[in-house]
Copies of this chain bind each other. A is one copy, B any other.
């Protein structure tokens, strides 16, 4: 049986949870998982019984290495990216790292900022994905059954069923508009691309070579770097193109399969997504930390770094975190980036 590894991608900056999330404390480090732990910590805990910490590689931004390492079990490898180059270069580099440890290495790629609560289901689904990936030259992705016409995810069109909740992938699609997403939902043939992948290291490197030879060539020195791997990684990454693994490899490969997971999944892409998983009071309010709610309905009130009070509101978010305050309607939380952009523009203009 091949050696199994895990790559956890923890480099995101997650501006959608501003003011709680900040560049120096992004979403994956916030206590958004059940029990008040960070999403990163929950991700690592979820795979701990399946893959030993010393078989786990966590990639993050160079300035987040210390904060990320504090969330990791002893023995976990944490490596800092000097620049951000999206997922394809990071996964390619990790494939070299794992291949250097074992010629038969296979690995799972896990985002660090999603919520999955059912650990047993996750373990079973992951086992099926590894089995599928190890049985041939297949790239395996996870396709979550849609619960609504979301426009913030890429979609996967299912092809032929080849096993228990295992399908060939017919096509990947970009984030759809609302009408297209409605059609996807009704057809029953589409799944959300959850950004969780399993494959053999060698199979991935071959696919990268075939579909993105320039990128594969830039990463090639990592294959023979040995003890200088980390230094070499810092040297080659800036020269890589910034491109997602979906676009660089998956969409161009014929041999891709999709596992339909049995576990719950949420990308926690916004305050409203997070709130859906929290307990509510009798009037549907979610209160976190030092929250004071008077005559409100369906609100999310977070007092993380001070007291947050809401009076007479309906379906609003009021957040006091990291010394800043945000107030907006719940149906506009997808636009929180606009606040971050306004702040950035103002600071640039100073």
- Chain A contacts to B: CB under 8 angstroms: 18-19, 292, 294-295, 303, 306-313, 316, 318, 320, 323-329, 332, 335-336, 338-339, 342-343, 346
Are A325 and B312 closer than 8 Å at their CB atoms? no
Given contacts A339-B292, A342-B292, contact A325 B332 (CB under 8 A): no
Are A311 and B292 closer than 8 Å at their CB atoms? no
Given contacts A294-B335, A295-B338, contact A19 B307 (CB under 8 A): yes
- A/B interface sample: 13 pairs, CB < 8 A: A292-B342, A294-B338, A306-B324, A307-B324, A308-B327, A309-B339, A309-B343, A312-B329, A312-B335, A313-B327, A316-B327, A318-B325, A320-B324
**Residues on the B chain within 8 Å of A18, using CB:** 309
**Residues on the B chain within 8 Å of A332, using CB:** 311-312
A313–B339 Cα gap in the complex (Å)? 13
A318–B308 Cα gap in the complex (Å)? 11
Number of copies of this protein chain within its complex? 2
**Residues on the B chain within 8 Å of A326, using CB:** 309-311
Are A311 and B324 closer than 8 Å at their CB atoms? no
Other A-B contacts than A309-B327, A313-B328, 7 sampled, CB-CB below 8 A, are A307-B323, A309-B339, A311-B326, A311-B328, A311-B329, A311-B336, A313-B329
A108–B342 Cα gap in the complex (Å)? 49
Are A325 and B311 closer than 8 Å at their CB atoms? no
**Residues on the B chain within 8 Å of A294, using CB:** 335, 338-339, 342
- The A interface, classified by DSSP as helix, strand, loop or mixed, is strand
- Residue with the greatest number of chain B CB neighbours at <10 A, chosen from A306, A311, A335, A336: A311
Nearest chain B CB to A319 CB, angstrom units: 8
**Residues on the B chain within 8 Å of A307, using CB:** 19, 323-325, 343
A339–B303 Cα gap in the complex (Å)? 14
A339–B318 Cα gap in the complex (Å)? 14
Are A306 and B323 closer than 8 Å at their CB atoms? yes
Are B346 and A328 closer than 8 Å at their CB atoms? no
Nearest residue, chain B, Cβ from A302: B325
**Residues on the B chain within 8 Å of A295, using CB:** 335, 338
Are B342 and A328 closer than 8 Å at their CB atoms? no
Are A325 and B338 closer than 8 Å at their CB atoms? no
**Residues on the B chain within 8 Å of A320, using CB:** 320, 324-325
Nearest chain B CB to A57 CB, angstrom units: 36
A183–B305 Cα gap in the complex (Å)? 48
A318–B324 Cα gap in the complex (Å)? 12
Given contacts A294-B335, A320-B320, A335-B294, contact A325 B308 (CB under 8 A): yes
Are B309 and A324 closer than 8 Å at their CB atoms? yes
Q: Which of B19, B312, B327, B338 contacts A318 (CB 8 A)?
A: B327
**Residues on the B chain within 8 Å of A336, using CB:** 311
Nearest chain B CB to A288 CB, angstrom units: 13
A330–B342 Cα gap in the complex (Å)? 24
Q: Which of B309, B329, B335, B343 contacts A19 (CB 8 A)?
A: B309
